[in-house]
Amino acid sequence: MTTTATSTVSGISVSLSNQEQWEKFYPHTEMVVTRKTGRLLFPHLKYIVKGLDEETEYSVFLHFERIDDWKYKFLSRGWDKWTEGDKKLPIDMKQHKDEWKCGRNWMKDPVSFEYIRITNNTEVKKENDILLQSMHRYLPVISIQKKGVVTSNMVPSWPTLNYPQFMHLNSINNEVSWEMNNGMEQWKKDVIPHYWFN
């Protein structure tokens, strides 16, 4: 399992600061349940960034990549490819709310996107919402842009970080309820209480 993504060109590295949380679910595939009004992604996305020039200004961006072209279904206690996936949505790249900061400040503390909400509702979409398609697998992607440099030269973590991956769901139904009742006490403890509040 690769836990750090490093650009061979710039030497910038990106890793999860809450790696242990995500490791509880990977490679079993974390399930993220959303609602029409949007929901915070949990576990949160928090990254440690290293290798930036301390005095240069950068901005950090987040988007989500569909891992493949399949739509999945929960069968025999596991996620299986079910049918051809829906047409992919355009990439919705979100700039970190801190916008531009010098490298020293980005590297000082974990870069958190815990305020980003995911939704499946095409009609109601707020500034921090990202639209995802249900029953498809996703991987968050971090990109770093140096101020004054065109977008094509951004530094992405994709595809080196092979997790955190997650399955986007509209709801917990009977097909997947076994996950919460058969040996996944940590899932119930860490994830379910979080959904009551966000």
Which is nearest to 23 in space by CA: 165, 156, 189? 165
The predicted pLDDT at position 5 comes to 57
113 contacts 96 by C-beta, under 8 angstroms: yes
Mean pLDDT value across residues 76-83: 73
The predicted pLDDT at position 148 comes to 83
116 contacts 125 by C-beta, under 8 angstroms: no
The predicted pLDDT at position 17 comes to 86
Mean pLDDT value across residues 57-74: 87
CATH H-level, domain 4-195: superfamily: Transcription factor, T-box (2.60.40.820)
Q: What is the pLDDT of residues 117-129, one digit of tens each?
A: 888 887 767 888 8
The predicted pLDDT at position 2 comes to 47
**Residue 29 backbone class (left: φ over 0; alpha: ψ -120 to 50; beta: rest):** left
The predicted pLDDT at position 65 comes to 86
22 contacts 187 by C-beta, under 8 angstroms: no
Mean pLDDT value across residues 145-157: 66
What does the block give as tokens for 142? 């971090």
Task: State the sign of the Cα–Cα–Cα–Cα dihedral 133, 134, 138, 143.
Answer: positive
What does the block give as tokens for 9? 């060109």
Q: Domain residue spans in the chain?
A: 4-195
Higher pLDDT, 105 or 15: 105
The predicted pLDDT at position 176 comes to 44
Task: State the sign of the Cα–Cα–Cα–Cα dihedral 50, 54, 58, 59.
Answer: positive
182 contacts 46 by C-beta, under 8 angstroms: no
Higher pLDDT, 41 or 177: 41
Go through the chain and tell me how many residues it has: 198
| pLDDT mean across residues, the chain | 73
Mean pLDDT value across residues 126-137: 85
Q: What is the pLDDT of residues 13-39, one digit of tens each?
A: 888 888 877 776 655 555 555 666 777
Mean pLDDT value across residues 57-75: 86
Percent of the chain beyond pLDDT 90?
A: 19
